[in-house]
Amino acid sequence: FKITFTRELERELAAKDLKFKSFTYQSKWTYGSPQENRIDNKVESVRRLSPKTVEVTLDRFKPGRVYQLDLEELKSKEGDKIQNQLFYYTANQLP
């Protein structure tokens, strides 16, 4: 994952700052299903690309899963909490 923030963070990110989980949904003709196959994904590495951008490598990163990223603990350089703290991404294909 490449993550770009709108403001600089208060400190350098570490793997423990990023909480990733992933899960699948049943493929049905009707909308909606409960989450299945939930796992906690370990952050293998965090590499700073610029003051606002980091590249994150996860273990068990696979297509067909929905990834949830929780940034609840992060603050900007000015000390403000991150406004949007929970993100979801569906990995349909991997390069």
Structure tokens at 30: 């009707």
pLDDT at 30: 72
Q: What are the pLDDT digits (tens) for 58-81?
A: 999 999 999 999 998 888 899 998
Residues 6+ apart with CB under 8 A from 90: 65, 66, 67
> What are the structural domains, with CATH classification, of the chain?
2-91 (2.60.40)
Position 11 pLDDT exceeds 90 = no
What confidence score (pLDDT) does residue 91 get?
92
pTM (two decimals): 0.85
